A and B are shown apart, each in its own frame.
Chain A
């Protein structure tokens, strides 16, 4: 398995509180991604990073921000959590940009519940 660690693995938080999820990789891959997984929706891309301090939005970025100050860490922040952000969050990494030559490797996910 690719060296990807997500923390925490489980979190319960209250509506309106800030939450930060961490993804740490030991593969020195340039590209990192945050997806959320919801029943009936599959996985949807939130944000991704193509290098230190270089990030861009995915298809469901509203309410989320990210930061990447080091190659190995990619943080996902919910500034003010809402119940609609209850989900399982997956981090993924890839060595290069092209999907054909560099498939995604996923972490084991963080289950977030917003009450």
Chain B
């Protein structure tokens, strides 16, 4: 079974500053990894995903994440945030079998301040 840990429930940051949202996972098998973003009163949208290959994955809105197998991490980064990036961010994991049942972390609220 897989599990996902997002240690930071909230991350306050000033506009134009860099940010890193942390995600660690646990699994006994190879996994796919995802970051989803949820804007207020909306559903989740896929930000980026890691399937295989390059460990640095680029997503929408200038976000990127790096897969680190030895540390079982998939941290999300952005070099310069905007007010519009204020949202909740969810890390998720799925096994590589024939399922699409994602296990989600508890989410990190990114609060960008002017």
Contact = CB atoms under 8 A, between A and B. Distances in A.
Interface in B39-88: 41-46, 49, 51
A81 B59 CA distance: 40
B24 interface: no
Nearest to B93: A99
Contacts, number: 67
Interface of B is mostly: loop
Q: How large is the interface on A (under 10, 10 to 19, 20 to 34, 35 or more residues)?
A: 20 to 34
Given A42-B104, A44-B104, A45-B101, A100 B43 contact: no
Interface of B: 4, 6, 9, 32, 34, 41-46, 49, 51, 90, 94, 96, 98-102, 104-107
Given A58-B101, A100-B49, A104-B102, 18 more contacts: A4-B43, A33-B101, A35-B104, A40-B106, A42-B90, A42-B104, A42-B105, A42-B106, A45-B101, A92-B43, A99-B101, A100-B96, A103-B34, A103-B49, A106-B43, A108-B42, A108-B43, A109-B42
